């Protein structure tokens, strides 16, 4: 198994930037495709971005394309989500997740989850 711990959330004004991080431990990090998900109050958890085991491929939900960038540093066992041009609708708890697949996009494909970090975007 792999343990995941998110950090870097906080309060930011609309148009601002924030980078959240996810530190992994327990198994070799490069054995997992990684993803970021978010859950707003009263809504289901939704995929935001995904990155393949080697970092060569990425997927994004349409609403964040051009604004968010997922990346990974396998030497540091860490995956990042750089969020630019933030909007109030980006407000959510952001979760890091790991899949044994090369890359995933749906919630069901991810077996391991972190506890989440709160991102709040004010208007």
Q: How many CB atoms lie within 10 A of CB 88?
A: 11
Q: Please report which confidence band the pLDDT of residue 1 belongs to, taking 50, 70 and 90 as the band edges.
A: confident
Q: Phi/psi of residue 74, each to 5°?
A: -65, -30
Segment 6-18, tens digit of pLDDT: 999 999 999 999 9
* Kind of pairing between the strands at 117-122 and 10-13: parallel
Distance between CA atoms of residues 93 and 114, nearest Å: 11
DSSP-derived 3-state class of residue 31: helix
pLDDT digits (tens, 9 = 90+) for 22-61: 999 987 888 999 999 999 999 999 999 999 999 999 999 9
Would you call 84 helix, strand, or coil by DSSP?
Answer: coil
């Amino acid at each position: 198994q792999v343990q995941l711990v998110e950090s870097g959330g906080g309060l930011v004004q609309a148009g601002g930037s924030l980078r959240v991080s996810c530190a992994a431990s327990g198994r070799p990090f490069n054995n997992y495709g990684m993803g970021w998900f978010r859950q707003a109050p009263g809504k289901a958890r939704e995929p935001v971005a995904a990155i393949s085991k080697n970092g060569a491929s990425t997927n994004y939900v349409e609403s964040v394309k051009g604004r968010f960038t997922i990346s990974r540093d396998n030497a540091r066992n860490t995956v990042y989500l750089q969020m630019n041009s933030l909007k109030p609708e980006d407000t959510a708890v952001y979760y890091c997740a790991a899949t044994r697949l090369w890359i995933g996009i749906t919630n069901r494909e991810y077996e391991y989850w972190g506890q989440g970090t709160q991102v709040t975007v004010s208007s």
